[in-house]
Structure 1
């Protein structure tokens, strides 16, 4: 863990959220799950950058797998030249 409390599982959570945004929401495909740190607003305090001691490693990894599967579907359906906002 770093001085900022970022840890490897936190980076996995962060990357899942970024992938849902860039290869999902920005091309009109919202994520199939609601990210808790987005829902409660704690994202603005960096809650997506760390995993708490009580979190297991399976959940963030499974979330990221869902994110990349969603991204793959976006690319497959829309192509790489799809407009994004």
Structure 2
């Protein structure tokens, strides 16, 4: 299993789509499951758009990708959970 997370926090490292093309090729060659955390995809600047590994043809055969709404709306999951508990009370 290969676990990736781009854009990365706290380093802010970003990758281009060609990086994911190489990862998918490697995963197919060695039968590796790729797990990609795309949590910070919406927190980028200067008009740059973070690529998804799922944009690569054949990625669905070797990869899964996760995204979290709490980062996109700058609302931590804990605050969301607290709001939900208060709302139910």
Task: Report the TM-score, using the length of structure 1 for normalisation.
Answer: 0.26
**Structure with the higher fraction of residues in helix conformation:** 1
TM-score by length of 2: 0.25
Which of the two has greater strand per residue?
A: 2
Larger radius of gyration: 2
Higher relative contact order (CA 8 A, sep 6+): 1
